[in-house]
Structure 1
Amino acid sequence: MKLTHLHTTSKNGGCPELYETDNDTYVVQGTRVTDPEALAKLRERGLPDHETAVEVPKALLDYLVAKRLDDAKSTV
């Protein structure tokens, strides 16, 4: 899988990071969710034991939405 770095909201590098892959998907690097109540809710919603959830700032996903809108405008 080839990763292309798209964006970060970190001031000093590292987490959180957003990448695009050559599989037409995104990879998000964030802080692992460890709160027991949050994990219980995620498990109730179907999060399997072999997967994890990460927390990222809204600004990181806001960037992705803006990028997708710009990409859509470019193809019109």
Structure 2
Amino acid sequence: MRMRFLGSTSEGGACPTLYETDRGTIVVQGLQVTDPEALADLRDVLEGEGAVEVPRELLVDIARRVL
């Protein structure tokens, strides 16, 4: 799989960051959610899955540019 940088709200390209893959999917780089109460709200988490947190404005900005 190859990824193409879409954008970030951080300086220096650190997380949170979004990437588009050559498989037509989006990869999210961000801080891992570790709060037990927040994790308890997740549904149907499969083996190997995790949750990351990104700012809403990053998703809105990328959606405007990509879509």
Shorter-chain TM-score above 0.5? yes
Q: Provide the identity percentage.
A: 54
Aligned alpha-carbon RMSD (Å):
1.2
- Quote the Cα distance in structure 2 between the aligned partners of 1:7 and 1:35: 26
1:27, distance to aligned residue in structure 2 (A): 0.5
| Higher Rg | 1
SS in 2 for 1:50: coil
Gaps of 5+ in 1: 70-76
Output the CA distance in 2 between the equivalents of 1:37 and 1:59.
24
How many aligned positions are there? 67
Give the helix-richer structure, 1 or 2.
Answer: 1
Q: 2:62 aligns with which of 61, 64, 67?
A: 64
- TM-score under structure 2 length normalisation: 0.89
Q: What amino acid is aligned across from residue 28 of structure 1 in structure 2?
A: V
**Structure 2 portions without partners, runs of 5+:** none
